[in-house]
A and B are shown apart, each in its own frame.
Chain A
Amino acid sequence: MQLLDIRNLTIELQTSETAIRAVDRVSFSLKEGEVHALVGESGSGKSLIAKAIVGVLNERWVITADRMHWRGVDLMRLTPEQRRKTVSQDIAMIYQDPSRCLDPTAKIFNQIAETLPEVAAKGFFLKRNRERKDRVKALIHKVGIKNHEAVLDSYPHELSEGVCQKVMIAMAIARTPKLLIADEPTTALESTTRAQVFRLLKSLNQLKNMSILMISHELEEIVNWSHGIHVLYCGQMVEAGPTHRIFSQPRHPYTQALLKSLPDYEHGLAHKEPFYALKGTIPTLQHLPIGCRLGPRCPQAQKECVVAPKLSKHHGHSYACHFPLIKEIK
């Protein structure tokens, strides 16, 4: 069954003069047990989509969509209370700056214990306490923190970012959610901790069949373990499909530029060789180009690109470009 089914999601910002389209008709869907990646530069609207699903966007943002279904339930028709309930049971989210997302005046033990689903009402006060302690301990061990005594007894500002992120993951999986949305979870971490967090997420996906929606701007991290990729540029969906297909045959110039910009460490780099990058920068929200938003920067742009290209599908691989890169089969 489709866990998450989103079609033509548009998020607009109402300013005093016009409405700025931060996210323009993005569609994707997620099945159970799948790991899906949303890739794009900063400013492409990936975090907005995640926040719209969970429902924590400000009132200034206007969300419209043809479909936004979670396991068959239309999220947009629910009242805020029902939405909060549905979301808190089945969807969990981890963020970019873990230490700022934890309450600075509460000990870690209390914060994790708060997210535990209600302990069975039987038993004494002491027995319930014991059970709570055991479950918190189990959670902490599951995310790979060995010395639980020290960590559980400390405050967030006493721990490193990596440990904080693991604590956040522990809080997220406490209710065994069906979907874990990870909003750039490793940006603030060092590379060793990054690898640990990825391994953890991967094992959670494989062992518990938990779907993960991974939002990131680093391609290399998600190549190995995501099933599908959505590439976003400036709020528009540019290309989507199974990972291996996108990597071997990118159709959109932007995807190709992304792939080309990954430094090739295996074959060595020449001395002082410049890295590949598309010229220009991502446009600001106030000055969005009409039509295909990559237009001004695209090396293959022509007159037709003034009109937004339609999405074309080909064997599960969809792309939106007037002039896609299709290799001739000789």
Chain B
Amino acid sequence: MAKFNLFSEDSNKSPLARLWRKFKNNHPALVGLWVFIAFSLLAATAPFLAPYGVNQQHSDALLLPPSWNEMGDVRFILGTDDLGRDVLSRLMNGATYTFGLSVVAALITTVIGVLVGTFAGISKGIRSSFLNHLLDVTLSIPSLLLAIIIIAILGPGLMNTVWAIILALLPQFIHSIRNLIVDELGKDYVTAYRLDGASKWHILSRGIFPNVYEYIVVIFTMALSTAILDIAALGFLKLGAQPPTTEWGAILAENLGLIYLAPWTVALPGVLLFLAVLSTNLVGDGLRKVLQARKAD
């Protein structure tokens, strides 16, 4: 039964509005977006919201299980570790490190990547082919390996990890951006612009960029999920954040010895990691699907 339509006007919404509408209909992606926003807020406000200090030890409450367990205590909702530190506070602070730093790393990668990728995309001739060959070489080495190498040179530590991640994400990013720009440059409207006499800057800013920025967001989410996994992996391998920094991977590595006695100290950081990566992937995937559907419309 068709809805009764009083006004026979067509809805003519902007592409962005149509995108949001379609995105809203994709329920998993919307849930992912909420979780993502929740994590971002947590990363920003954790130091103020956490009930206890990160290194505050409670010698009377060692190895307490989470509060839903019969031996747990409501004071420490997610339990404590072997030094009596509250797991909840540590994990909340960890959001700032793992999630927050990953976002920072991904943003910096985006800025540099867009600049270099655009430059690579619009250049022609020997310069371009040399750059492309160089990119292809760096592309064949996976990002985690590159990060490990850079850590090996710079030495372990959290800030070094961030630099390492940025440098490791850049090749893939530049490659994707470059392909994007080259594809877009091949389209007819760019030729029309050029025939009209537009300058390179004009074509880029008015023509290509508005059409491309949504895809850049998708690539950003993919880079972000890789960054979260890599920072956590490096933390886990004790090559990144060093204890007592509360980065989630480092917490996991620290509590490995407790895996038999206190499995929650190992399971919980992993759950948070998983949720962070899952939400990012859901958002990125949803965005990609919506862009495809909108193109087909």
Say if the beta carbon of B297 comes within 8 Å of chain A: no
Cβ-defined contact, B3 with A16, below 8 A: yes
Cβ-defined contact, B10 with A19, below 8 A: no
Distance of A19 Cα from B1 Cα, bound (Å):
11
How far, in Å, is B275 (CB) from chain A's closest CB?
Answer: 35
Say if the beta carbon of B5 comes within 8 Å of chain A: yes
Interface residues of A in 5-24 (CB under 8 A from B): 16-19
How far, in Å, is B252 (CB) from chain A's closest CB?
Answer: 47
Q: Which residues in B have their C-beta under 8 angstroms from that of A17?
A: 2-3, 5
Distance of A286 Cα from B10 Cα, bound (Å):
8
Q: Which residues in B have their C-beta under 8 angstroms from that of A18?
A: 2, 5
Q: Could you give, for residues 272-305 of chain A, a 1 whenever the CB lies within 8 Å of some chain B CB and a 0 otherwise? A: 0000000000000010000000000000000000
Q: A16-B2, A19-B2 are in contact. List 7 more A-B contacts (CB 8 A).
A: A16-B3, A17-B2, A17-B3, A17-B5, A18-B2, A18-B5, A286-B10
Lowest 3 CB-CB distances: which A-B pairs, in order? Answer: A17-B5, A17-B2, A18-B2
B interface residue count range (under 10 / 10 to 19 / 20 to 34 / 35 or more): under 10
Q: Which residues in A have their C-beta under 8 angstroms from that of B10?
A: 286
* Max chain B Cβ within 10 angstroms of own Cβ: one of A17, A18, A286: A17
The residue on A at minimum CB distance from B11 is A17
Q: Which residues in B have their C-beta under 8 angstroms from that of A16?
A: 2-3
Q: Could you give, for residues 29-56 of chain A, a 1 whenever the CB lies within 8 Å of some chain B CB and a 0 otherwise? A: 0000000000000000000000000000
Q: Which residues in A have their C-beta under 8 angstroms from that of B3?
A: 16-17
Q: Could you give, for residues 1-15 of chain B, a 1 whenever the CB lies within 8 Å of some chain A CB and a 0 otherwise? A: 011010000100000
Distance of A179 Cα from B292 Cα, bound (Å):
38
What would 9 A/B residue contacts be, using CB atoms closer than 8 Å?
Answer: A16-B2, A16-B3, A17-B2, A17-B3, A17-B5, A18-B2, A18-B5, A19-B2, A286-B10
How far, in Å, is B6 (CB) from chain A's closest CB?
Answer: 11
Distance of A286 Cα from B12 Cα, bound (Å):
12
Q: Which residues in B have their C-beta under 8 angstroms from that of A286?
A: 10
Number of residues of chain A lying within 8 A (CB) of chain B: 5
How far, in Å, is A285 (CB) from chain B's closest CB?
Answer: 11
The residue on A at minimum CB distance from B4 is A17
The residue on B at minimum CB distance from A286 is B10
How far, in Å, is B38 (CB) from chain A's closest CB?
Answer: 33
Distance of A19 Cα from B10 Cα, bound (Å):
14
How far, in Å, is B297 (CB) from chain A's closest CB?
Answer: 12
The residue on A at minimum CB distance from B10 is A286
Q: Which residues in B have their C-beta under 8 angstroms from that of A19?
A: 2
The residue on B at minimum CB distance from A15 is B2
Interface residues of B in 1-38 (CB under 8 A from A): 2-3, 5, 10
Q: Which residues in A have their C-beta under 8 angstroms from that of B5?
A: 17-18
Distance of A16 Cα from B1 Cα, bound (Å):
9
Q: Which residues in A have their C-beta under 8 angstroms from that of B2?
A: 16-19
Interface residues of A in 192-210 (CB under 8 A from B): none
How far, in Å, is B9 (CB) from chain A's closest CB?
Answer: 10
Q: Could you give, for residues 68-96 of chain B, a 1 whenever the CB lies within 8 Å of some chain A CB and a 0 otherwise? A: 00000000000000000000000000000
Interface residues of B in 92-143 (CB under 8 A from A): none
Distance of A17 Cα from B2 Cα, bound (Å):
5
How far, in Å, is B10 (CB) from chain A's closest CB?
Answer: 6
Q: Could you give, for residues 116-149 of chain A, a 1 whenever the CB lies within 8 Å of some chain B CB and a 0 otherwise? A: 0000000000000000000000000000000000
Distance of A7 Cα from B3 Cα, bound (Å):
31
How far, in Å, is A60 (CB) from chain B's closest CB?
Answer: 13
How far, in Å, is A17 (CB) from chain B's closest CB?
Answer: 5
Q: Could you give, for residues 59-94 of chain A, a 1 whenever the CB lies within 8 Å of some chain B CB and a 0 otherwise? A: 000000000000000000000000000000000000
Distance of A11 Cα from B107 Cα, bound (Å):
51
Interface residues of A in 209-254 (CB under 8 A from B): none
Distance of A323 Cα from B3 Cα, bound (Å):
37
Distance of A239 Cα from B3 Cα, bound (Å):
36
Distance of A18 Cα from B10 Cα, bound (Å):
12
How far, in Å, is B18 (CB) from chain A's closest CB?
Answer: 14
Distance of A18 Cα from B5 Cα, bound (Å):
9
The residue on B at minimum CB distance from A19 is B2
The residue on A at minimum CB distance from B5 is A17
Distance of A19 Cα from B5 Cα, bound (Å):
13
How far, in Å, is B139 (CB) from chain A's closest CB?
Answer: 27
The residue on B at minimum CB distance from A284 is B10
Distance of A19 Cα from B3 Cα, bound (Å):
11
Distance of A16 Cα from B5 Cα, bound (Å):
11
How far, in Å, is B134 (CB) from chain A's closest CB?
Answer: 31
Distance of A18 Cα from B2 Cα, bound (Å):
6
How far, in Å, is A81 (CB) from chain B's closest CB?
Answer: 29
How far, in Å, is B12 (CB) from chain A's closest CB?
Answer: 10
Distance of A286 Cα from B9 Cα, bound (Å):
10
The residue on B at minimum CB distance from A14 is B2
How far, in Å, is A101 (CB) from chain B's closest CB?
Answer: 20
How far, in Å, is B287 (CB) from chain A's closest CB?
Answer: 23
